[in-house]
Amino acid sequence: MSKIHVTATVNGDPVEFLADPRETLLDALRNHLDLTGTKEGCGTGDCGACSVTVDGTLVCSCLMLAAEANGKRVETIEGMAKEELHPLQRKFIEHAALQCGFCTPGILVAAKALLERNPDPTDTEIRYWLAGNLCRCTGYDKIVRAVQDAAAEMRQDHRGAA
Amino acid sequence: MRYHTPTTFQDAAAIAAASTGTLRFLAGGTDVLVQMRAGMVQPDDLIDLKHIPGVDRIEKTPEGGWRIGVAVPGIVLGAHKELVRDWPGVVEGMNLVGSTQVQGRATLAGNLCNGSPAADSVPGLFAAGAVVTVTGPKGSRDIPVEQVPVGPGRTSLAKGEVISAITLPPRAKNGGDAYLRFIPRTEMDIAVVGCAVNLRLDGDRVAEARVALGAVAPTVILSEACAQAIIGTTLDDAALAALAKAAKGAAKPISDKRGTKEFRIEVAGVLARRAARIAYDRAKGMKA
Amino acid sequence: MARDDVKTGYKLIGTRPNRPDGLDKVTGRARYGADFSLPGMLWAAVVRSPHAHARIVKIDASKALALEGVKAVVTRADLPTGLTGEDLNLQDNTLAGDRALYDGHAVAAVAATSQLLAQDAARLIEVEYEVLPHVTDVDAAIAPDAPVIRPGVADYSVPEGMHGNVARYMEFGHGDVEAGFAAADVVREHTYRTEATHQGYIEPHAAVGQLGEDGRGEMWVCTQGHWYIRRMSAAVLGIEAANLRVTPSEIGGGFGGKTTIFMEPLTLALSKKAGGRPVKLVMSRSEVLRATGPTASASMDVKIGMKKDGTITAGQVYFRMQGGAFPGMSPIGEALPCAFACYDIPALKHEGIEIITNRPKAAAYRAPGSPMAAFAVESMIDELCRELNLDPIEVRLKNGAKNGSKSSYGPVYDVIGLQETLQAARAHPNYSIPLGPNQGRGVASGFWFNHGGETSVSLAIGEDGTATVSVGTPDIGGSRASIGLMVAEHLGIPYENVRVNVVETGALGVNEPTHGSRATFASGKAAIEAANQAIREMCRRAAAEWGIEPEAVEWRDGAAHPAGPNAGKHPPMTIGEIGAKMGSTGGPISGHHEVTAGGYGASFGTHVVDVEVDPETGRTTVLRYLVVQDAGTAIHPAYVEGQYQGGAAQGIGWALNEEYIYGPDGRLQNPVFLDYRIPVASDLPMIDTVIIEVPNPGHPYGVRGVGETGITPPLPAIASAIAGATGVRIRSLPCSPPKVLAAIKAAKG
């Protein structure tokens, strides 16, 4: 079976790899690029553990072929922290918003996408935005609080910078 | 599996017509990839339509309607203010499909072609009177959206044919539409029952109406009886009761893991009433 | 007593520092089961039975083996014979023998050079089946016409004349129940049912295994207990457990479901056949749901007598539970003792049977058996409270177990906190918020035994005055943080100076899994004992330097201090000073402790939930939720709250929407998260918590396990709240909208 040459930008780095046409972006990230922070929880778009952004849009990387990523800009959990942790990452630790931590990368990527669109979401908006990110450990309570706290801090920083 | 990236619908149709094995078109991929992953489908040819210019665009037609490209994902539909103003019911149906992540990929055309009677965006398209452009080896034709699905997972499209656009008619003055579905959770479920209502008012009276029901028959259905129950009325309690009765009468569901037959019939009536009320309020220019 | 009222005098215990593994887990660096890879690694896939019950006539792997890149196929014929008891059950479940016993039962496995290739190869393995009659429902399985699935499965406990699918029988009780019922003003009797649910951890099972010709191997695996994985895998493959080294990955949730093996030994069997190349096997979600640990489904008869003043005079239960196609897997032995564990009732009778069905081999799920038992008994008590117009908390305070009560299952309770949870629930604002139309409030209490178990811990003092603790209980929900806090408190050093590592099977003696709410309790208790040993040694080193007797040295605030009349005056010698020169004062300083930990202390909680039910659709919305539970001492309160909230969320899912749905063909109809409906973020409100602290006398810092009780009360509490909102009682979970709507319509007539 002939493979497809894929060139993309992942977390700002140029990457290229050969993908089986059936391989998903999730498979490619994990198995070709060793970016195992993106998780597979279901493979059917129902759990959100594989959340990444592609050209700025939040998607499930299990629902996209690796070949479709050709020429695209992909951001994963591994690209979230720069020199310092992203406020969401820090607040998740401080609020104990993770227990097993397996859903955490997907939830952080999804929450970051939310705050970029809506810097001041209500609890309900957070819950509906994250409805596709299953967490079995926390009951979501501390996750919602951590997102709110990070959003508040980011708004503060934004005002401080303006 | 061969992965194709044609740049015209004519090329896509030609590849499809020439395919001798299992064929799938790829737009958002949120159904096809799930089926591939589950081993339900092993395509020999997968035709990605996203390299065709214009498939990601929403354009106003000369008549004042909207022509929606086959690769426009839900999140883009939802962010299009003018489209949402004209066809809130159609957009809210599409936006109920899956998660935020799925909205980043899933498309109206894909939801329609998947052929599920429970597809959330399809009742809205039926009620709106959407027109589907189908391109095949012999060229393109326009058909009413109701003619596309013919059974669970099946469409009327012939081999080599592909949907190349979906067009919504111009929004009539004093018109409004709405879609409601019933699911056990708040998100992430397949509709157990869905109902879309599109209507136009003349003063306080319903002048025209189209009512579509989802997940209560082998395909989404358009119910003339439901429309007749409210046309000419002010959508008073008697009209709503008649509508609910008509919706229950139109529903011919099965019992399955998502709901019983009796439940679906009952809730079809409830949703028809509630959706009609929202559509009416929208037509009146009230917030809903 | 709320946490604020307790004067503990602790410096660190009760604070909320960042967990040590937090950074790795928010950056994607933490390595879970599927994140390991090794040079030369192959990928595996499993062929599974599409039939609920079938004789395996023939397996033909020739087409698969002919594919380029396919390296090995294993079937049952490759595994040793002669196993007995639970080892045989484990082997039977790893790969079917002559019969596939449930939809999803593994039949063969294949290893190839890529995951896609392995999956392609699996599809090419041809299995010929002869389909046999099946049964999946717990009550249908003991109907006279039900096929006997495993002839001869009954153990010694099963009385003559019971159906051939009954594997176990239990009974116990005390007092005269007939006299008790006669003394009651109201006696009610009903049958309650719960459907099987899955633990629903988001991380599918995954393992990388390597086994050489010499019978020595290694495995990297996501598990709650790697010594269990080692013992069970070795037994299934007929190799020496000592020759297998198992390293746990980070674990993406378990809730009891990762305390046993499912496909793990297949990685080793395939590796050996593939010349010792490592083999990785990762389950898909549908494999997880079809073939790994769901819990039991249950059908339960309950009879309770109550006086008009709320006094419970007698109780009687008969539970029927199925745990799949293997004996010993239903939690009947836990469900019965849990049934009335919250109460002190003069006359009780418990009976129960375990039933075999064509369903997957059940595994433990958070407080195994207790949620079902609570659904039956707590629902019935709520029904009686509503009938007699009594406050459900007052009735529980009146009949509830107290310190020194003889438990319903025999032992006498030591110091317990049930009454405190009831008082706190009654005093909480949620209990007096007025309810609107179509709204209802439900109350229920819950119990879990807790557990100690085999535990082995090491602690080493560093040259820099830090302490490194090695534990064998994988950290699922913050146990590194809680154990670190206790050790830091005990040594008198900063929390940041303690590092807690979860280590592999070669590094410690046997540890039971992180199960039974034991990790913080038992590994913590052993770590404190290990710290004591290190402290004694550090005091000896200081004493030697000061030229005094070790008994004249005491340890406090992270330093040795001279103490007593003859100790003389010496400046304190800190752990850092002692560590820095330990190489020249006698060598490394460490502590070690092994124990089968006792004194774990029972756990009780009380929940209050408000719901609103849409009378036209039967859909239930949870408006507010309160968990009150006794933690003994909350070491890291944020993670205690997390356990309460997570348990409640799982219980809410069980009560409202989660269920295993089998078709008439015996196939699981909802093996995907789309239709196995666990709660999503928008389904739930904030979950309020009150941590009660009634210190457990069996632990140096008063710890009780907190992980499990929280899943127990939601089942009855939600059903009771729905009864309050609608006037109809749902006695069969889940309270799904079609069921609730049908009940509402039936009640209207």
Domains in chain B: ranges and CATH: 177-283 (3.30.390.50)
Instruction: From chain C, pick out residues whose CB is under 8 angstroms from the CB of B189.
Output: 674-675, 677
* Tokens of residue C409, six digits: 């299952």
pLDDT average, residue stretch C687-711: 97
pLDDT of B287: 59
CATH number, domain of A40, equals 3.10.20.30
Say yes or no: A36 and A97 in one domain: no
Apex C438 CA angle, C432 and C442, nearest 5: 45
Closest chain B residue to the Cα of C120, Cα to Cα: B39
Instruction: Indicate whether C298 pLDDT > 70.
Output: yes
Query: Inter-chain contact C682–A98, Cβ cutoff 8 Å?
Result: no
At A155, which CATH number? 1.10.150.120
Please tell me which chains touch C, using 3 or more CB pairs under 8 Å as the contact test.
A, B
Mean pLDDT, rounded, of chain C: 97
Per-residue pLDDT band at C8 (split at 50, 70, 90): low
Smallest Cα–Cα separation from A50: which of A137, A129, A133, A121? A133
Same domain, A132 and A157: yes
Reply yes or no: is the peptide bond before residue B253 cis, omega within 30 of 0.
Answer: no
- Tally A–C CB contacts below 8 A: 186
Residue B69: what are its φ and ψ, rounded to 5°?
A: -65, 155
Indicate whether A63 and A127 sit together in one domain. no
Same structural domain for residues A41 and A106? Answer: no
- Let me know whether A23 and A55 are in one domain: yes
Per-residue pLDDT reduced to its tens digit, C380-422: 999 999 999 999 999 999 999 999 999 999 999 999 999 999 9
Q: What is the mean pLDDT of residues C228-238?
A: 98
H or E stretch including C334?
helix C332-339
Alpha-carbon gap, residue C419 to C421, rounded angstroms:
5
Q: How many CA atoms lie within 13 A of A22 on its CB side?
A: 19
Structure tokens, C643: 């356990």
pLDDT at C1 > cutoff 70? no
The tally of CA atoms less than 13 A away on the side-chain side of residue C456 is: 13
pLDDT along chain B (288 residues), means of 10: 97 96 96 93 96 98 97 98 97 98 98 97 98 96 98 96 98 96 97 98 98 98 98 98 98 96 98 98 83
Q: Quick count: other Cβ atoms within 10 Å of Cβ A84?
A: 8
Give the chain B residue nearest C116 (alpha carbons).
B37
Which of C582-586, C605-609, C745-749 comes out lowest in average pLDDT? C745-749
User: Are A66 and A100 in a shared domain?
Assistant: no
pLDDT tens per residue, chain A (162 residues)?
Answer: 589 999 999 999 999 999 999 999 999 999 999 999 999 999 999 999 999 999 999 999 999 999 999 999 999 999 999 999 999 999 999 999 999 999 999 999 999 999 999 999 999 999 999 999 999 999 999 999 999 999 999 999 887 665
Residues A36 and A9 occupy one common structural domain: yes
| Domain at C369-450+601-748, CATH class | alpha beta
Whether A61 and A93 share a structural domain: no
Per-residue pLDDT averaged across C130-141, rounded? 98
In this predicted structure, what is the pLDDT of residue B288?
Answer: 52
pLDDT digits (tens, 9 = 90+) for A40-87: 999 999 999 999 999 999 999 999 999 999 999 999 999 999 999 999
Same domain, A91 and A74: no
Instruction: Kindly list the residues from chain B whose CB atom is less than 8 angstroms away from the CB atom of residue C618.
Output: 263
Reported confidence tier of residue C4, pLDDT bands at 50, 70, 90: very low
Q: Which of A39, A54, A79 is the last residue of a domain?
A: A79
Rounded to whole angstroms, how far apart are CA atoms C668 and C655? 20
Local structure of residue C343 (DSSP, 8 states): B
Please report which confidence band the pLDDT of residue C7 belongs to, taking 50, 70 and 90 as the band edges. Answer: very low
CB–CB contact C617 B260 (8 Å): no
Can you give C70-129 as a three-state secondary structure string? Answer: EEEEEEHHHCCCCCCHHHHHHHHHHCCCCEECCCCCEEEEEEECCHHHHHHHHHHCEEEE
Does the pLDDT at position C661 exceed 50? yes
Q: Which chain A residue has its CA at the smallest distance from C475's CA?
A: A100
Q: Phi first, then psi: what are they for C201, rounded to 5°?
A: -50, 145
Q: Which residue of chain B has the CA closest to A109?
A: B101
A73 with A107, same domain?
A: no
End-of-domain residue from the set A51, A79, A107: A79
Q: Can you read off the two tokens belonging to residue B198?
A: 């599109």
Residue C5 above 50 pLDDT?
no
Whether residue C500 has pLDDT greater than 50: yes
Question: How many secondary structure helices (H) and strands (E) does chain B include?
Answer: 11, 14
Nearest-Cα distance to chain C for A117, in Å, is: 19
Please say which residue of A79, A102, A120 terminates a domain. A79
Question: Are the C-beta atoms of residues C279 and C202 closer than 8 Å to each other?
Answer: no
Q: Tell me the domain boundaries of chain C.
A: 369-450+601-748, 454-595
Whether the pLDDT of residue C22 is over 60: the answer is: yes
Say whether pLDDT at C596 is over 80.
yes
CATH class of C454-595: alpha beta
- Domain total of chain A: 2
Contacts of A42 in chain C (CB under 8 A): 285, 672-673
Q: Residue A72 belongs to what domain range?
A: 4-79
Contacts of C742 in chain B (CB under 8 A): 260, 262-263
pLDDT range class, residue C564, cuts 50, 70, 90: confident
In this structure, the answer to whether residues A33 and A73 fall within a common structural domain is yes
